Amino acid sequence: MEQAAERIAEPRRPFEKDDGLTGGRIPPQSLDAERSVLGAMLLSRDAIAAAIQHLDERAFYRETHRKIWRSMLSLFDRNEAVDLVTLVEELKRRKDLEAIGGATYLTSLDQFVATAANVEHYCKIVNEKATLRRLIDVGTEIVGECFDQRKEPAALLDRAEQAIFAISDDRLRTGFHPMRQLVLQGYSAIEEYRQRKVHVTGVPSGFYDLDEMTAGFQKSDFIVIAGRPSMGKTRRSSASRCRRNRSSSGSCARSRGWTSTRSGAATRATRSTRSSRTRRRSSTRPPSTSTTPRP
């Protein structure tokens, strides 16, 4: 049964031809890991959600597995059950059932899965093989362009750099994170701030009211200073930069209003709650007439 499924014709990839660069060798792939991912997705709906965060259809080596992946995601997006019966019907509707080896091949997928809990490990293997194939693909194209000598060397360098960075960006892409994990990180940050027994936990801005609302400029904050010309924006940013360099809490990093780190998301939620309390207290006080920063 499995041998019959293996005989399904697969289209050759550009780097599989015997062009003297790869020697006609088979590109890196792990068909067992690909089957294990699909089998785990058939066993558990949670495994589908986990696999979506780590893979896309380009990571699969076999076109057969790509078609099964697309059919599973179609069922999942429609909030329908994903099992052997519904998957067979979806493949029939797409006219792909015979192309993937029929229902016989689908029933063999769960033979490669001991438990759906290991789906992330299977996804890691599939991703690693896909990254190697993409590197081979990019390298082969660059070598071919170098032999053609139709482009300037500087243009080829830029092309190679962009292609490699594109692979790196896909590899470093992250998915969603559980809210429970973010809340626990937030509690840890709150406990750390409580032990410091200071209100300004970040870099002081120099303005009492602003520090009261923000607790200072925090890591992962991107600070935008706006104002009319000749209003002291440069002087204020320079003074803040000097304080930042002297501060023991580290440098100001990325975003204000947009969080680039998981810990920043949890911390920002805590700060926004504290800021709302501060604004309510400030509304009961007479407005300040001076904007002179503290020394």
Q: What is the DSSP string of 176-237?
A: ---HHHHHHHHHHHHHHHHHHT-S--SB--S-HHHHHHHSSBPTT--------TTSSHHHHH
- Lowest average pLDDT, out of 74-83, 97-106, 176-185, 278-287, goes to 278-287
DSSP code, position 254? S
> Tens digits of per-residue pLDDT, 179-228?
776 777 777 777 777 777 777 777 887 778 878 887 888 777 777 778 78
pLDDT band at 266 (very low <50, low <70, confident <90, very high): low
Query: How far is it, in rounded angstroms, from Cα 111 to Cα 43?
Result: 11
Domains of the chain (ranges; CATH) run 2-130 (1.10.860.10), 179-283 (no CATH)
Long-range contacts of 231-240 (CB under 8 A, 24+ apart): 236/206, 236/293, 239/206, 239/293, 240/203, 240/205, 240/206
Name, in order, each residue with C-beta under 8 angstroms of 255's C-beta and a sequence gap of 6 or more.
220, 221, 222, 264
Q: Where are the beta strands (DSSP E) in 112-186?
A: none
List the structure tokens of 65. 């597995």
Give the CA count within 13 Å in the CB-facing half-sphere of 259: 12
Please tell me the total number of residues recorded for the chain in this structure: 295
> Tens digits of per-residue pLDDT, 28-73?
999 999 999 999 999 988 899 889 888 888 999 999 999 999 999 9
Query: How far is it, in rounded angstroms, from Cα 179 to Cα 176?
Result: 9
